[in-house]
Structure 1
Amino acid sequence: MLPSRSRMRRGEEFTTAVRRGDRAGRPTLVVHLSKETGGEGPPLVGFVVSRAVGGAVERNRVKRRLRHLMRDRLHLLPQGSLLVVRANPSAASARFERLAAELDVALNRLLRRRGPAPQARTDGHR
């Protein structure tokens, strides 16, 4: 599960990431990344899964899958950044592996635009 301290909760954070951040789209999802916070705290991640994706069961399944995928990729994000992952309707029927691959492509595209990758942590954490 995504750590509690890394979950986006405030509407202003979602708005900032979507309106001011860079965007990378794939068939199953769109990713928005913003470094507008100016803070040095952990990166914050939020998810948008609309009714167009499906009923409550499908939407919650997509959110759980995306949270699980982001947990292993959180270390790639710059400190203090905001990331919003918006699921497209095709995410409901996509296999887990496809969601993972498309999330990787979108994140890599955004991080390449932002400059050098963050230094690997040496304290044993991701």
Structure 2
Amino acid sequence: MAHLLLREGQGPPTVGFVVSRAVGNAVVRNRVKRRLRHLAREHVSSLPGSCVLVVRALPAAGSAPQRVLAEDLSHCLGRLTVRG
């Protein structure tokens, strides 16, 4: 799940991650954050300037393969940028 907030002014896009305990223990949560951070780097250039993107990892993200996370993130960002 992702939320996109458009801000006034100049500046680069900001990306944040919310990974709750429902995803798994600390090791699993940190691994999910690292994987999502790596995947989000590919999409930052396509985001509107000075926006804030918040990605919330659902519990299934803890056991999802990298390919599935990449597809889900691309799908969410595609829906957000079309709407925005």
**TM bucket normalised to smaller:** over 0.9
Q: How far apart in 1 are the matches of 2:9 and 2:32? A: 29
Q: SS state of the match for residue 9, structure 2?
A: coil
Which structure is larger by alpha-carbon Rg, 1 or 2? 1
Structure with the larger RCO, 1 or 2 (CA within 8 Å, 6+ apart) = 2
Equivalenced residue count is 84
Matched residue, 1:105 = 75
Kindly indicate whether residue 64 of structure 2 is the aligned counterpart of residue 94 of structure 1.
yes
- Percentage of pairs with the same residue: 57
Residue of structure 2 in register with 1:44 after alignment? 14
Q: Which runs of 5+ in 2 are unaligned?
A: none
Q: If the length of structure 1 is used for normalisation, what is the TM-score?
A: 0.66
- Secondary structure, counterpart of 2:50 in structure 1: coil
- The match for 2:5 among 14, 34, 41 is 34
Query: Aligned-pair RMSD on alpha carbons?
Result: 0.6
Q: How does 1:34-73 map to 2 (within 5 A)?
A: 34-35=5-6, 37-73=7-43
Higher strand fraction (1 or 2): 2
CA positional deviation for 1:40: 1.4
Q: Please identify which structure carries the higher helix content.
A: 2
| SS at 1:42 equivalent | coil
